[in-house]
Amino acid sequence: MTELAIPPSIKPPCSVGSQTALRSQNVRRVVDTLIANGASTRAEIARHTGLSAATVSNIVAVMVDRGTVSTSPTRSSGRRAVHIRLESRGAVIVGIDVGRRHARVVVASLAHQVLGERAITLPRGHRREEGIEATARLLDEILESEGIERRAVVGVGVGVPGPIDRRTGSVVDGAILPEWSGVNLVTAFEQRLGLPVFVDNDANLGALAEVTWGAHAMSQNLVFLKLGSGIGCGLVIGGEPFYGHLGIAGEIGHSPVSDLGPMCHCGNRGCLETVASTSMMLEVLGQRSTPSITTDDIIRQAVAGDVATLRVVGDAGFAAGRAVAGVVNLLNPEVVVIGGPLAELGDILLDPVRRGFERYAVPLAAETTTLAVSSLGDRAEVLGAASLAARQPSLQLA
């Protein structure tokens, strides 16, 4: 089985100077060059990576055997040469996003081309076995329908709506999926899929997607605020995901906004999630509706101009903006992206977030920080999961 690339606090990596680590780094450099520049000759790859021509030739030969790359004749400086390009189905990455009521799976090439995608609705409070089995079926369906061999999958990224203890790879108590608390996701998914698995919190993956797939690829410092059943904050600092000491950085949803507020599922009172999550909105608006409403109903009613819905969305947005102002005052990012199921509301959601943000942010930060809604919609987390898999240095690509 392919060796797992688990965070250093979970499993010690190969020493930096080992042959395995060095080869993995060299392969990654070749792949990154092909992603950035497209089809290239061996000489061009050597020039971009700084590797010797012999090293590049050895890596490419193994990648051709594995079907990771394909070759075609060309001419370079008047001489015969060979163009090397990533083969979209020779090595693929998988993203899995499991939420309170959904599961989504995407299969993509290393060049970030989506090859197949599936999503289903899950019952609320579903057991972890149900969620894992559902994603396994979706993956099998995509591979079969797209004619992709299972051996082509070089890594699977998995995201869940809850903090991950990076020492163990387990879901921390108080997550939005209580049935998953304490579960080692790497082990659970790997045993079912038989593939290398890498795990992260869904908000972190949303941030990663924005700097990989989204409109903010040039941003070095980005905050991704996910407003959903729970509220999470993914951070990219200096171009890299930021996790903090144990991996639970960004749990903004459990920042108290009122000492006497409603009880939160984490055990505290008055957390941001109790005033700005979609769960709260559904509870408030559901009191006047029969049958119970859904998140789609919130979107439809807000777009239609329903006064009560707009008030609930506005209050939630203002509270979220106030909370994110504290993050911006501390970290001074270039951009804050609002994601989650309500992102498609656009300015209906963004305007109250901006009001709260501008009211509580340092003036200079408020003037120079871009606020935007995610262009990736409800696909941000699953695309980020695929990116997580692609970033692992120990993927066996050659």
Condensed to tens digits (0 to 9), the pLDDT of residues 282-332 reads 988 987 766 778 899 999 999 999 999 999 999 999 999 999 999 999 999
**79 and 97 share one domain:** no
pLDDT digits (tens, 9 = 90+) for 91-110: 899 999 998 888 999 999 98
Q: Pull the structure tokens for residue 250.
A: 């960004």
d(CA 194, CA 258): 46
351 and 220 in a single domain? The answer is: yes
Asked if the model's pLDDT at residue 242 lies above 50, the reply is yes
Structure confidence at residue 171 (pLDDT):
82
Model confidence at 5: pLDDT above 50: no
What is the spatial distance between Cα 167 and Cα 183, in angstroms, rounded to a whole number?
Answer: 13
- Assess whether 117 and 183 both reside in one domain: yes
More confident residue, 129 or 95: 95
Query: Is residue 258 in a domain?
Result: yes
Distance of alpha carbon 176 from alpha carbon 354, whole angstroms: 26
Which DSSP category does 45 fall into? H
In a domain, 396, yes or no: no
Give the model's pLDDT for residue 14: 45
Is 254 a domain residue? yes
**Per-residue confidence at 395, pLDDT binned at 50, 70, 90?**
low
The answer to whether residues 226 and 359 belong to one domain is yes
Chosen domain end from 46, 71, 86 = 86
Whether residue 289 sits in one domain with residue 192: no
The contacts of residue 191 (CB under 8 Å, 6+ apart) are: none
Burial class (CB within 10 angstroms; exposed 0-12, middle 13-18, buried 19+) of 98:
buried
Positive or negative: CA dihedral 205, 207, 213, 217: negative
Question: Taking a C-beta distance cutoff of 8 angstroms, is the pair 181, 172 a contact?
Answer: yes
Decide if 8 is inside a domain.
no
Residues 195 and 240 reside in one and the same domain = no
Count structural domains, the chain: 3
Q: Provide the CA 335 distance to its chain's centre, in angstroms.
A: 17
pLDDT of residue 175: 61
pLDDT band (50, 70, 90) for residue 12: very low
Same structural domain, 101 and 171? yes
pLDDT of residue 2: 35
Identify the H or E element spanning 388.
helix 380-390
Is the model's pLDDT at 56 over the cut of 60?
Answer: yes
Residue 259 confidence (pLDDT) above 80: no
Q: Within this chain, do residues 159 and 82 fall inside the same structural domain, yes or no?
A: no
Q: Name the one residue in this structure whose structure tokens are 């008047």.
A: 78
Q: What is the 3-state secondary structure (H, E, C) of 283-295?
A: HHHHCCCCCCCCH
What is the structure's pLDDT at 194? 94
Length of the chain: 398
Q: What is the pLDDT of residue 241?
A: 92
Last residue of some domain: 67, 86, 105?
A: 86
Helix (H) or strand (E) holding 150: none
Could you tell me the two tokens for 149?
A: 């061999």
Chosen domain end from 86, 110, 126: 86
Residues 190 and 271 in one domain: no
pLDDT at 17 over 60: no
Percent of residues in the chain assigned helix, strand, coil, to nearest 5: 45, 20, 35
- 255 and 200 share a domain? no
55-73: average pLDDT: 87
Task: Kindly state whether residues 298 and 271 are assigned to the same domain.
Answer: yes
- Pair of tokens at residue 36: 């950035």
**Which CATH number do you get for residue 341?**
3.30.420.40
Q: Are residues 42 and 187 in the same domain?
A: no
Domain that holds residue 115: 92-207+381-390
- Quick one: pLDDT band at residue 163, thresholds 50, 70, 90? confident
Strand partners, 235: 223
Q: Is the pLDDT of residue 16 over 90?
A: no
For residue 34, the domain's CATH number is 1.10.10.10
* pTM (2 d.p.): 0.83
Does residue 339 surpass a pLDDT of 70? yes
Strand partners of residue 201 = 160
* pLDDT of amino acid 68: 82
Q: For the purposes of burial, counting CB atoms within 10 Å of the CB of 78, is it exposed (0-12), middle (13-18) or buried (19 or more)? A: exposed
Residue 191 has pLDDT above 90, yes or no: yes
Cα dihedral 209/213/215/218 (nearest 10)? 80
359-389 pLDDT, tens per residue? 999 999 999 999 999 999 889 999 999 999 9
- Is the pLDDT score of 114 beyond 90? yes
The answer as to whether 145 is a domain residue is yes
For residue 226, tell me if it sits in a domain.
yes
Q: Is residue 308 part of a domain?
A: yes
Q: Is residue 230 part of a domain?
A: yes
Q: List the structure tokens of 144.
A: 């079969």
Please identify which residue in the block is written with the tokens 């990663």.
208
Non-local CB neighbours of 278 within 8 Å, separated by 6+ positions: 227, 228, 229, 295, 298, 340, 341, 342
Query: What amino acid occupies position 215?
Result: A
- pLDDT surpasses 50 at 9: no
